[in-house]
Structure formats: C-alpha cells, structure tokens
A and B are shown apart, each in its own frame.
Chain A
Amino acid sequence: MTGFLDAVGFGEWILHALIWLPLVGIGAVLLAPEERAKEIAFGWTTGLFVLSLGLWWSFDPAGPLFQHMSSTEWIGAFGISYALGIDGISLFMILLTTFTMPIAILGAFKYVKERQRAFYALMLLLQTGIVGVFATMDLFLFYVFFELTLVPMYFIVGIWGGERRIYAAVKFFLYTALGSLLMLVGILYLYWQAQLNLGYPSFHFFDLLGTPLTLTEQLWLFVAFGLAFAIKVPLFPFHTWLPDAHVEAPTPGSVVLAAVLLKLGAYGFLRFVLPLFPEASAHPTVVMIMLTLGVIGIIYAAWVAAVQPDAKKLVAYTSVAHMGFVLIGIFALTTNGLQGGLIVMISHGISTGALFLILGMLYERRHTREIEEFGGIAKVAPLLATALVITAMASIGVPGTSGFVGEFLALLGTFERYPVLAFLAATGVIFAAYYMLPMVQKILFNPLDREENRAMKDLSGREIAVLSPLVGLMLLIGVFPGPILDRMEPGVQAIIEWVDEGAAGGALMEEAKGPAGVREAPPPAVPTTAELGTSAMDRIEATAELIHGSAAQREWIRVAIGDQD
C-alpha cells in the first residue's frame, strides 16, 4: 500500500486535493438537477473519504513530526503562505472529517427537502473549511479557514433549521465571530512580534514558534486565542450557543457541528495556543482556571442535560460535558491526558454524531424531539434500539467502546498532576449514567402506549448504512485504539516538550522544522522595513513630511526608498 501511494506521489497532492476537491464538488452539485444533488454530494464526499484513507498508510508513524508538508507563497508582502502539513493529531482530525461528511450527508437524504442543491453545496464548502483548518501550517490561512467554516454553518442552521433557527444562527455566528475577531488581533500582534524577531514577515507556524514573548504578552495572547477556542469548544460558561444551535440545526448540521466543528476549538488549543504561548499555557493559574472550567463543564453540563425535555438539547449538553474531558486532558499536559483528550474528541465525534443521527431518524418518524413523546420504541424498532443503546454506552464511556478509552486516559493523565480535579471530573462518569440512561429508557423502554409509536418503522437500509460504520468504529476504537494512539504519540510528545521547554526554542523545535525540508526562510519580499530599520508607520510619517519637508529630508527619503531618479 505504501509503495503504491509513494508511486503516485500521494503525499504531495493529497492535502491539496482534500481541501479543494470539495469546491469542485460544489460545482458538480450546483449544476446537477435538484433531486440528484444529494447523490452527487454523497458520492463526492465518499470518494474524498476513500482518498483520505490513503493517509493512514502514507503517514509514517516513525517518520518526522510533520509530514506531507508543502509551502507556496500566497501574499508575499506579508509573509502569508499557502503552507500545509499534518502531524498525527491533524491526521485523525482530517480522517474524522472526511468520514463524518458522507455519513452526515447520507443521513440528510430525507431530512432536507428544500433547496437541496444549496444545502449540499454548503456542506461541501464546510468540508473545505474544516479540512483546511486541520491541514494548514500558516496561521493566517488557519484564520481564513476557521472563519470559512462559520459561513456555511450559519446558513445551514438559518435556512434549514427549526422554528427558532434565526435566533440560533445569529447567536452561533456572533458568539463565534466575537471570539475569532479577538483571535485575529492576537494573530496580528504575534505576527509583528515574530517579524521583529525574524527580520522578515511570516505567518508560518514554524516561524512563529519560539517567538520571544514576555509572560504578560503571552497571557494576553492566550486570552485572545483562548477565548476564540473556548467558545468553539465550548467551554463553560461560553456554551449557551451550542444547545440552541444544535436543537435548531438540521440533523446533518448537528452531526457535523458535534462531530467536527467543536473539535476545531480543541485543535486550536493543541496546535497553536500550547506551543506558541508555552509559558502562559503552563502558568499554574491559567492551568487551574482551564481545568476548573473543564471540570465544571463536565458536571454542570451533565446535570443540565439530565433535566432536558428535548432529546436533542440533552445530547447537545452532553457535548459540553465531553469536551470538558478533552479540555482537562489537554491542560493536564501529560501524555496520557493529551492522548485521552484526543481519543475523546474522536470518540465524541462518532458517538454524538450517531446520537444526533438517531434522534434525526426519530424526528423524521414522529416529528417531535420531546423525550416524553416516545416510549417502548425498542418493541417496534429493535435495530434502532440496538444502535441507540450501543451509542449511548459509547457516549457514557462503558469499557469496550471508544468513550472509555478516551475518558479513562484523560482522567488518568489529569490525575497524574491534579488528583483533586481528576477526582471531581471522574464523578462525571456517574452523572453520565444519570443523564443518558433515563433518556434511553424513556425513548426505548417503558410501555408502548402511544398509538403513533406503534406504527413506527424500524431502520431502513439507508439508515443502517448510515449507522453501522459509526457503531462499528465505536467498538473498534474501544478494543483496538493502539494504532491511533501510536500515530498521535509523536505529536503529543512534541506539544508537551514545546510547553516544557518554554519559549526557548529548543532542539526539538529545530528538529521539527529540519527534516521537513520544504520550507526555507523566504527572501524578504519588501525590503523597506528591514532596510529602514523602522516600522511601516515611520514610512507613512516620512511621506507626510515629504510634502512640506526640507530638501535634505526629501533627498534622504528618496535614497532610502530606492528612488534612483
């Protein structure tokens, strides 16, 4: 397999293909007849998934940290490059995305009835954005893709959503945009500082890595970045957009939102916040705040979830609880914690995605999401019941499912450094049963006493096709998480060492940059600042002086800016 992939140069084009081919797919979807759009979108995303599977083999677990690197100048004047590359962490995030998309689209076949072309086009656009976020090495490009994911999701919720869709869509958009705007400010500040340090402008991750920042600067930047990602994750108390967005979003929207979009936040913490601001990220107060918020999220969200009358809202709150596990895993800064957090991310993507799909199927049958409206469904829909029970068990982390591996490792890693917080977080295990089992019982068990429910159909062939890969993966990852953990380990170790080494720019960073080989310091595109030794602001002032300045000054500026006349 590896030989074949090498022969076709897989590593060189795969990331570009995964980012841009969905856009080509949009063209195909828009040109297709209305009723064929879904099939084309499904076929297209399935093809992309098959393509992305090659990454499993082409990514060498023993190779360099970042692989499949490439870099092309985009906006040279500002050092913005179209730079891609993945490590073990982004590898699985990309696979999760390409895996979720066709399933979400297949699950939408009956749910979305209006403006199908537009819907599937937006889904494909979403995929471009998400894969872009996970694959990019350039912070500016990251921001572009990060924001790009917002737009399609806004329309998906706002157009195909439920009754309060406008409120939910606007809330979702404003919440996230607020955070990411602050992040933009942070990115720009970091960029200027890096430029002072490097002598040339660059947004490339490797160039920004090791930028000397004082602790104060790091803390401010941490807040700017952290807020954007904390909202996206979402971390308590920035979570209230999530239940609204989930409840109002159409099924496929919820699936993608839960399975992948929330991961952008956690990924942002891992990829950028921890390595770029190591001192702030390891600062005891910061760590304590993040861990405490994570733990509160776990318990609080579990409690709130338990009293939701709306099944979809319940599952939405469980997302908050799960992402709390991810957060504590990340900020415990131990190998086990990070590995666990990452597995929780993958597991949550699969199990919560499946839960939303199942709830969507129930909604298609009964047009309600009220838990009390159901009861005894297991009698008329045994296949659906089986899928729901397995998924619920994976969601609450019963061993043998993916959820357990993740939660166990995350808690274990947290305990190594913060036993008390791990203790509190572990109570989430109890509360998980407290919110999930009553829902399962009220939907599947209890008397089959409603006439509408008696006529309910079991899963159709299409629905089985939607759910079975998800259920299969939950069990597979629960039993054989080894290959995933192996591939993520170098990335996890690197993050921990980056943070431990602080801003010093130690050997590991150099090593990480070295073997990739494709990236050299670009020649300064605009020599002005470097040669003037002043900032761009000075140049503007100089220009202003030119107008009514002295002849000597004029002459000096003319020489300085290279005017040969």
Chain B
Amino acid sequence: MISLGFIAEGVAQGGASGGYDPLLPGLILLLPLLGFAANGVLALMAGSRAADRIRGGGDGAAIAGPDGKKPFTHTLPTWIGPGVLLGAFILVAINFFRMLGVELTEPVIRSYWSWMPTGTLSVDAAIQLDQLSMIMMMVITGVGFLIHMFSVGYMKEDPGYPRYFAYLNLFVFFMLVLVMGANFPVMFVGWEGVGLCSYLLIGFWFQDREKADAGKKAFIVNRVGDFGLLMAMFILFATFGTLDYGAIFQQAPELFVYGGAAVTAVTLFLLLGAVGKSAQIPLYVWLPDAMAGPTPVSALIHAATMVTAGVYLVARSSVLFAMAPASAAAVATIGALTALFAATIALKQYDIKKVLAYSTVSQLGFMFMGVGVGAYAAGVFHLMTHAFFKALLFLGAGAVIHSMHHALHSTHKDWDAQDMRNMGGLKRFMPATWITMWIATLAIAGIWPFAGFFSKDEIIWYVGTAGAFSGLYVVLWGMALAAAVLTAFYMTRMMVMTFHGPNRTGEDEAKHLHEAPLNMTIPLGVLAVLSVFGGWINVPGSVRESFFGGFGLLPMSAWLDSWLAPVTAGADAIRMAELGAYADVSPVGGGHVVWGAIATTMALVVVILTARHFLAREVQPAHIDGEPESGIGKVLYNKWYVDEFYDRIIVRPILATSRFCWRVIDRVVIDGTVNAVGAVSKGVGWFGSLFQTGQINTYAFIIALSALVVLGAFIF
C-alpha cells in the first residue's frame, strides 16, 4: 500500500515550487524513525538480558558479556544512532543548498496520506519545506548529530545505552515533524511527541524517584500548554474550516479583524502552548527539574531544539500575532519577565546544570521578546545561535560532570558531581573543554564578535525601537538590558567557579580528573566554531558598516533576515500597514551601532569584574558551604519559592478536591443514594414478608379474596 519510495518522495501539492526540487524530504523523517525502530529493538533485547540478570540476583548494571566484550546491543547503536542523524543532516544540507539557489515565495508541500478525513475536516499527513523549517531542520539535524556523537562517549558505560539512542532518535523524528508539518495537527504530533520523548529522557534513569518525578512534571506542565494549542486549533478550525498553514495564513487578514477578539484568543492560546513548551513564566518550572536527564539530552532537548519550539510556533504563526497586537505584546512581556526573572535565579545556583537551565529559560525569554515585537527573524536568529552556544555549554558541562563523576567514583566519595563548589581549577585537567566553554560564555554574554552578540543585540535593538509604538516596550527594553548584564554575571561566575581557582575536589580524586575523549571534544570544537562565526550570517547593514562588522568585511549582510523574508512577509506587511516602520533610534536616543557598543562594553566589564570578584573569593566545597541562610540569596537559591507556591495553590488543592470527589461525592453522595435505594427496597420487602405466614390456607384465602375484589371491580 505504502512503499518506501512514496514515503520518501510524497505527493507534490499546491503552489508553484519556484524551481525548488526537494530531495527525498520524507526520508529525512524516515531515517530517525528507522533509527528509533532499530535501537528500540536492541534496547528491548538488552533490557530483557539485564532483567534476567536482576532476577538471577545480579544488579543488571553490567554491560559486558561473559567474554568481557560488549554485546552487539551496545555496539550497534553507536553506529545507528548518530548514523541516521548524519544521513538526515546530509539530506537536509542538500535540500538547503538547493533552496538557496531559488526564489521560493511559497512553501513546497508534500502530502503523504489523508490523515483525518471526517467529512467536514480534512487533515493530510503533509510536510512543508520553506525557509523557516529549513533553518530549524539544519539546527536540529546538525546540532543533533553533534550531540549524538557526544553521547557515544558520554553514555557508553550506561546499561541503557541502546534505549538512550532509541529515545534520542525518536526525539529527532518528532522534532522534525514539528518543524516540517504543513498544518497544525501534524505540527501538534511533533509537539506532543517531543514532549513524550522529553518525558522519557528526563526520567531516563527512572530508578531514581526524583528523576522520574521530574519527567512526570515536565509532561504534565507541558500538557497545560498543549491544551492551549488544542484550543487555538479549535478556534482556527471554526473560523477557517481548515487547519492547513497555507490556507489559514492566507485568509487570516480577511477573516480576522485586526486586534479582534477571535484572533487575540487564538494567539493567546498559541502563546499558552508556546509558554509551556518553551518554559516561560508561568510554566517554566519544569525545565530546571528536567536537568535530571542525561546532560546531552539537556543540550539537545532542553537547550537547542525542543524548548525553542515555542519560538518557532510564534514565528510560524507570525501573521496571526501581527494581527493581534495585544497578544504580541503579551509574548514580549512574558519574554522580558522570564528573561529577567530566570536570570536572577541563575545568580545563586550552585548546580552547574541548574545555572545553565535558568540561563536557557532566560535566553528563551529573549527570543520571545524578539518574536513578540515582530522581529521574527531576530528571534529565530537568536534561536539558532543559542542552539550553538548553549548546546556547547551543556556538552561542556556534561564533559565536566563526566570527569567529576569518574573522579568521585574512584574513591567512592558521595559528593555531588554537579555542584560547582566541589569543582574549581578544572582548566588544568580539561583544557579543551575550558577554552570551548569560555567561547560559549562570551557568546552568550553578548560580547563582540561572538555569535550571541549579534543575535541578542538585534533583539534588544528591536525591543528598544518598538518603544516608539508603546511605552511598554521601553520598560521591556530596560529589562532586557538588565537581563543581559545578569547573563554576563552568572555565566562568568559559573566559569570561574568551575574552571579557575584551586581545585576543591580532593587530592586523591583530582588524579582521576581528565579531559574528555575525542568523540566528545570534537563536537565541542565544532560548536565552538559555530559559536564564534554563527552570528556573522545576519549582521544588519548599519552594524556591518561600522567597527562591529569590520567596516563591511563580514561576509553576509542581514542574510537571515532576507532568507526568512518570504515567511514573515505576511506579518511584516500587516505591521507596516497598522503600525508603520520601526524607528531607527533607541528610546533614549542613539543608533544601533552605539547601543551595540554600549551593550558589548557593558557585558565585557561585567565579565571582567565578576571574574575578578570570584577569583578573589575563596569558595568552600558544598558540604562545608551549605545553603544561604537568609536574605535575597536564600530566596534566589530557593528559586523565589515558586515551586512551593505552585504546590500550595495548585497541586494540593487539586489533590484535595480529587480526594473529596472520591471519598465524599462518589462514595457518600452517589453510592450512598444508590445503597439507600437498596436499603429502602429491603425494608419494604421485610415489611411485606410479615404478611407471609407460611400457611398455605392463608395464601389461598388471600388469593381468593383478591380475585373476588378484582372480579367485583369488573362487574360493578
């Protein structure tokens, strides 16, 4: 019925392809899926073997067979897992370069089968290729491949090795579905699918109750967002009678009123979805807990790809958000609040991954600000550069944790391998990791000429210029600048505590600290290169002409902006018509170049001051240092007590209501009524039984009498 060729090719549908001929787009999806299937089978085999060992009294953690060699279930995934990603990446790259050469104004849609034909609704299993999805696919498969490669080294001693790659491949598949889907339901398949994979990967070491809890929390919180997305789809269907991107975005300007209730409702529900997936206020709480997963997972899912799905969603629906200025303002406001709020928490975290987690939340806030003020390309730009340097930071942190773990394991010390207070001075042991992570730190801090400078600067700039439309954006602009400063601070703090100063791990342990193997450092190196040069693809004209663009030396001028122009054209047109063009000046005066200089200088100063401050300070290992006891430090360390707050006002009341429903309504009220009916029937029956004497004559007499009465009634 459905051959492989059909899956790989699909049926071309709609619109002119503008000379772009996609190469086997379906195969891009199929490869990770096949990888999942193969690794999944291996994982079940390995799992069954481990289970047998546990039943036999063993611990099930050993991988090697009796001959000391690793079984094929643990060697094959090394090739299958990253292999399919490499294949997918090559395919994506070919398609990308094919698309580069043509003027593609409309997405190329490939349809595979009719998914949900109900009679009034028609949803096809269709994918679309356009500039936005291409950028996302490049990031997903490219960074994804590097992280897969890193994982080979990071996870090689884990008994769940094949299962890990199965989940990771499945994640990539769903992530690709998310960005390639040609309509909302198909996108939603990817949307929930990545949530599922995230759930499975966070709880990868499910034997640990906390980790399993973290996975569950991520899934449930994400479901709140998914609910929003569902509602948005319903309103869209009620309005347009279809859920295809093309039809909706084309008709939106006619069927929706600018700033009307319907479009605002749609976009606010979309925002709820985006907020859930991209860990923004108020649904950000799952992301820090999600650090329970293996570190490469944090890099891939919780930094580079999945959490940016919300940004992708807003950019994808840019037409709708452009028509709903209130929602767009909400996007930007939530972004700014989150950026600042998460940054404050990151100031006082000691767990290296927690710092990075809150940093991710904060950076996602920047992206939200970008897409919220209508600078969709800037948001996607930051999404991309962030994928490079944050993946690098996470992978670097992974290398550090890996090394720390080995060191602590060698003497069975029960210290926390992720607590920065137990590290210090690691640059001696892990120079490659140290250098690459510094590059990423400078990038995320927004220091010229690293990638983060260009993307973050562009967002801040657009938020500032939007101040011309509303005073709100001036406030947001201030918050963005503050968040940028905090970013430079907490990142430098993390770097110094981890890599500089004296080593605090302990003398015996320090001997076992080592640099990560080559298959882990190569991805770091590649990502470091990208973190340096990645920002050069989108340098706006004025900046490019200035010092920051090497006075026009940088190769590409605002390439990403023009690349994404066909996707955002609809939204830009509406903006232009309704609000007018952006001002070319910040709220307090000064052009783009001036503020770029101010921002980078400020960041540099903060980095230097912070570094000096923490270098001078003597840090104690975690067991001596303990928790901050009072003041703002305690509040920040405890993450503003938001988890406790949610627990108190949401989780517990719902649980209490649930118990009430069960114990009182179900058991007492409803079942009580039912049983009372039963009891009454019984009572009546008992009363009636009193008339039964057991004497046949009595019965016969009553029968006769009754018959007479009935007869009498007939006659008279």
Contacts and interface: CB of A to CB of B under 8 A. Distances in A.
Interface of A: 171, 174-175, 237, 239-241, 300, 303-304, 306-308, 334-336, 339-340, 376, 378-383, 386, 389, 393, 398-400, 404-405, 408-409, 411-412, 415-416, 419, 422-423, 426-427, 429-430, 432-434, 437-438, 441, 444-448, 454-458, 479-482, 485-486, 489, 492-493, 544
Contacts of B119: 335-336, 339, 485, 489, 492-493
Given A427-B227, A493-B119, 11 more contacts: A240-B674, A336-B118, A400-B189, A412-B121, A415-B235, A429-B230, A433-B219, A441-B206, A447-B207, A456-B55, A482-B114
B219 A445 contact: no
Contact of A409 (B43, B121, B192, B212): B121
A446 B206 contact: yes
B220 interface: yes
Given A336-B118, A381-B51, A419-B238, A441 B44 contact: no
B714 interface: yes
A394 to B, nearest CB: 11
A414 to B, nearest CB: 9
Contact of B237 (A308, A405, A412, A489): A412
B12 interface: no
Contacts of B125: 479
Given A303-B654, A307-B658, A334 B120 contact: yes
Contacts of B102: none
13 contacts: A241-B674, A300-B661, A336-B119, A339-B119, A378-B206, A382-B44, A399-B191, A404-B192, A430-B224, A430-B227, A441-B213, A446-B212, A458-B48
A94 B102 CA distance: 54
B223 A455 contact: no
B253 interface: no
Given A336-B118, A458-B51, A480-B113, A441 B234 contact: no
B54 interface: yes
B654 A434 contact: yes
Contacts of A456: 55
Contacts of B698: none
Contacts of A489: 118-119
Interface in B13-69: 43-44, 47-48, 50-51, 54-55, 60
Contact of A237 (B220, B233, B670, B714): B670
Q: Which of B115, B209, B233, B234 has the most CB of A within 10 A?
A: B234
B678 interface: yes
B207 A429 contact: no
A411 B230 contact: yes
B661 A444 contact: no
A303 B114 contact: no
B662 A383 contact: no
Interface in B178-197: 185, 188-189, 191-193, 196
Interface residues of B, number: 64
The CB with the most chain B CB atoms within 10 A, among A175, A389, A398, is that of: A398
A556 B518 CA distance: 112
A480 B235 CA distance: 25
Interface in B145-187: 185
A456 B55 CA distance: 7
A405 B212 contact: no
A482 B116 CA distance: 6
B643 interface: no
B193 to A, nearest CB: 6
Given A380-B55, A382-B47, A482-B113, A175 B193 contact: no
B51 to A, nearest CB: 5
Contacts of B659: 307
B193 A399 contact: yes
Chain B binding surface, main DSSP class: helix
Contacts of B665: 300
Interface of B: 43-44, 47-48, 50-51, 54-55, 60, 113-121, 125, 185, 188-189, 191-193, 196, 199-200, 203, 206-209, 212-213, 215-216, 219-220, 223-224, 226-227, 230-231, 233-235, 237-238, 654-655, 657-659, 661-662, 665-666, 670-671, 674, 678, 714
A446 B209 contact: yes
A379 B207 contact: yes
A304 B658 contact: yes
Nearest to A304: B662
A448 B226 CA distance: 32
A434 B670 CA distance: 24
Contact of B223 (A376, A433, A480): A433
A423 B231 CA distance: 7
Contacts of A339: 118-119
B583 to A, nearest CB: 40
Question: What are the 5 tightest A-B residue pairs by CB atom distance, in nearest-first order?
Answer: A382-B47, A445-B206, A415-B234, A445-B212, A303-B658
Nearest to B658: A303
A306 B657 CA distance: 11
Contacts of B226: 429-430
Contacts of A434: 220, 654
Given A378-B206, A458-B48, A335 B120 contact: yes
A175 B117 contact: no
A416 B113 CA distance: 25
B48 A382 contact: yes
A409 B661 CA distance: 28
Given A455-B55, A493-B119, A412 B654 contact: no
Contacts of A241: 674
Contact of B219 (A239, A336, A340, A437): A437
A303 B661 contact: yes
A247 to B, nearest CB: 13
Contacts of B209: 445-447
B207 A446 contact: yes
Nearest to B230: A426
A495 to B, nearest CB: 12
Q: Which of A405, A423, A441, A454 has the most CB of B within 10 A?
A: A441
B218 to A, nearest CB: 10
Given A307-B659, A399-B188, A399-B193, A405 B117 contact: no
Nearest to B51: A380
B227 A383 contact: no
Nearest to A241: B674
Contacts of B216: 437-438, 441
A481 B121 CA distance: 13
A61 to B, nearest CB: 12
Contacts of B193: 398-400
A457 B55 contact: yes
Contacts of A376: 206-207
Contacts of B220: 430, 433-434, 437
A481 B189 CA distance: 14
B50 to A, nearest CB: 7
Contact of A454 (B55, B116, B654): B55
A408 B212 contact: no
A106 to B, nearest CB: 22
A427 B655 CA distance: 16
Contacts of B213: 441
B51 A405 contact: no
Contact of B117 (A240, A415, A486): A486
Contacts of B224: 430
A527 to B, nearest CB: 27
A409 B116 contact: yes
* Interface core residue of A239, A399, A404, A427 (most chain B CB under 10 Å): A399
A510 to B, nearest CB: 22
A66 to B, nearest CB: 18
Nearest to B174: A400
A492 B657 CA distance: 38
A340 B237 CA distance: 15
A180 B200 CA distance: 46
B546 to A, nearest CB: 48
B116 A405 contact: yes
A309 to B, nearest CB: 10
A468 B216 CA distance: 26
